[in-house]
Amino acid sequence: MKLLKQRDLQVTSLARFIRPCPTSFPEVFLNKQRPAKSPSTVGASTQRNQSTRPPTGLPNHHSTDSGHGKAIISHIAAASFVGAFAAAASHYRRQKYKYHVGNQDIIPLLDRTESGRVGNLERFSHYVARQMGFDDTNECPQLCKLAYEYLKKSKGCEDNIYEYFSKEAEPESLYVKLVEEFDRCILSYFTFHWSHASLMISQVLSVESEKKTKLKDFIMAATRKQRFEKVTKDLKMKRVFSTLVEEMKAIRREGESYCTDVMVPAALSERSPVLLLMGGGMGAGKSTVLKNIMKESFWSGAATNAVVVEADAFKETDVIYRALSSKGHHEDMLQTAELVHQSSTDAASSLLVTALNEGRDVIMDGTLSWVPFVEQTIAMARNVHKSRYRMGVGYKVNEDGTVTENYWEQVKEGEEDYQQKENGQVFSRKPYRIELVGVVCDAYLAVVRGIRRAITVKRAVRVNSQLKSHKRFANAFRNYCELVDNARLYCTNAVGGPPRLIAWKDGDSNLLVDSDEIKCLTRVGSLNADADSVYELHSEPNPIFEPGSVWNDIVLCPSRAGLQLELRTSIKKIENY
């Protein structure tokens, strides 16, 4: 058994080496670690791949037919070997999955050609039908349609599900059970084959035939560089003005807001302004936690006049992003987001430093996964009541290969008057109170949320970047706690339940933690950021199979087979009616 596991590990590692991996970069909020891909970069990647590809035939050093024949035979043999090796790697990967769960039924089917390339990925509706015991999707076409509608959160989908069971004896019970089964299928379907996440999303969003879709994908990929360049050129100036307008809206002054004096807890001249740092990996559930925080006594009044700094908000209002997204080419979804990544983070950086210079309450929502940026931002906030700041050069690679990270620069005295005035009188500002709210969850849950969000709102991120953001934040959280005045950590693993507070710190006290729940932070901090499925996220023994985990209690629920049988019986009656 030990030898078999070593062989599986070696073959899987080699398979990863020969499999082309998607270019990825850490989606770090307000992080200039790496610039977003420009249209030319996207095209250059393809050109580099083509330029390094071996020639289709070997050089003909001999004029004899036999020499040419040997060259052809050698080439064919080499190609056959690569194909056989890739197929073997795929087989051993499936065997590894089998080792984990005992059967492969829960894994979406992924067919490969003899050369090792992806052939067909099982569609979500087919996957749902197979999970529920149907051998042929023609047996349950209405069920397949409902599954797609529920996945895409189509308008009226829940009403359609209820109507589907309306003539049954217990429609309410069947409705609840089918919705729960759909949720289980969504969770398990999107926790495998992460290197093909774009294909999964495209299959759901596409209503065309398979062959037509493949042809369209090829054409869209081939013309992406030219299309992106044209849109960027046409909207360059409009984008500048549009971004400035959005910054002005976000930084609106107190007198321009719609709040009343009663709504604000205290004037900023009478208390310290607050910088709230919302951190956590992509898809961790920060928005849900923030909604709850905004209901607290302080923020219920102060939030109306606070400045919310979020790079994604600028991304969604970017004229280039909106122009490309409006064309409906879901094949470009990922590249479109990456194209405007740098401009949106720059706009968010500008808004952040402006708000801090003015002493406003600020809510900064991001992954907080890049430690140098977060540390420098906190240092700036600690000193901004004494001196004004501006944006620095960010992440810069020097000619000698060394890296310089300078995200904020202090404005030298004399360059700009940093003293604040009120009614013509100079007054001293109070220092910022800095609070941290972290959000964690098991990474595979975040990946599923991210993919489903891409399907519903057409905004996607690379899974590899997503996993890195979770791991980096988890490893940095305890250090961040030492730098802030108050810190809280929430876990959003509960499906359909509220976030749970699992750690808390105030002032100079030690971090108080829930000894059981804090294990989630440890798991996320040690995950494998290059994983291609939920089974590769953690080393053995895999915590997803432990009692209490979402995977173990929901996906592998012992009562699931009985519920599926009950649903299958009713569905057969309905579909054959």
Domains of the chain by residue range: 1-15+84-104, 270-532
Helical H segments across 52-64, by residue range: none
In which band, very low, low, confident or very high, does the pLDDT at 184 lie, cut at 50, 70 and 90?
very high
pLDDT digit string, tens, across residues 325-352: 666 555 667 766 666 667 788 888 999 9
Decide if pLDDT at 44 tops 90. no
Task: Please give the model's pTM, rounded to 2 decimal places.
Answer: 0.73
What's residue 261's pLDDT?
35
Average pLDDT (62-72) is 42
Cis status, amide bond into 541, omega within 30 of 0: yes
Q: What pLDDT was estimated at residue 320?
A: 57
Is the pLDDT at 258 greater than 80, yes or no? no
Rounded to whole angstroms, the Cα distance separating 563 from 457 reads 31
CATH architecture of 270-532: 3-Layer(aba) Sandwich (3.40)
Q: Per-residue pLDDT for 85 more than 80?
A: no
More confident residue, 72 or 191: 191
DSSP state letter for 194: G
Please check the confidence at residue 405 and state whether its pLDDT lies above 90. Answer: yes
Q: Which range is least confidently modeled, 132-141, 209-218, 504-513?
A: 209-218
| Predicted confidence (pLDDT) at residue 181 exceeds the cutoff of 60 | yes
Alpha-carbon 466 to chain mean position:
4
Residue 371 has pLDDT above 50, yes or no: yes
**In terms of Cα–Cα distance, which of 89, 79, 94 is closest to 18?**
89
Confidence of residue 263 (pLDDT cuts 50, 70, 90): very low
According to the model, what pLDDT value does residue 42 have? 35
Residue 228 pLDDT > 60: no
Q: Is the pLDDT of residue 145 over 80?
A: yes
Distances (CA, A) of 12 to 17, 24, 84, 181, 542: 9, 21, 14, 32, 18
Tell me the C-alpha distance between 278 and 281, whole Å: 10
State pLDDT tens for residues 508-532: 889 999 999 999 999 999 999 999 9
Mean pLDDT of the region 235-260: 49
pLDDT-derived band at 86 (thresholds 50, 70, 90) equals very low
Is 444's pLDDT higher than 90?
A: yes
pLDDT band for position 260 (50/70/90)?
very low
Give the per-residue pLDDT at 103. 53
More confident residue, 102 or 313: 313
Confidence of residue 457 (pLDDT cuts 50, 70, 90): confident
| 460 pLDDT above the threshold of 60 | yes
Higher-confidence position of 256 and 162:
162
Which range, of 138-142, 246-250, 402-406, 429-433, averages the lowest pLDDT? 246-250
* CA–CA separation, 295 and 230 (whole Å): 45
Task: Output phi, psi for 341, to 5 deg.
Answer: -60, -50
Give the C-alpha separation, 47 to 53, whole Å. 10
**pLDDT, mean over the chain:** 76
Rg (CA), the chain: 27
Pick 260 or 170 by higher pLDDT: 170
- In terms of average pLDDT, the best of 156-160, 288-292, 374-378, 540-544 is 374-378
In the chain, % of residues over pLDDT 90: 53
Single-letter code of the amino acid located at 280: G
Query: Which tokens in the block code for residue 568?
Result: 């299958």
pLDDT score at 117: 73
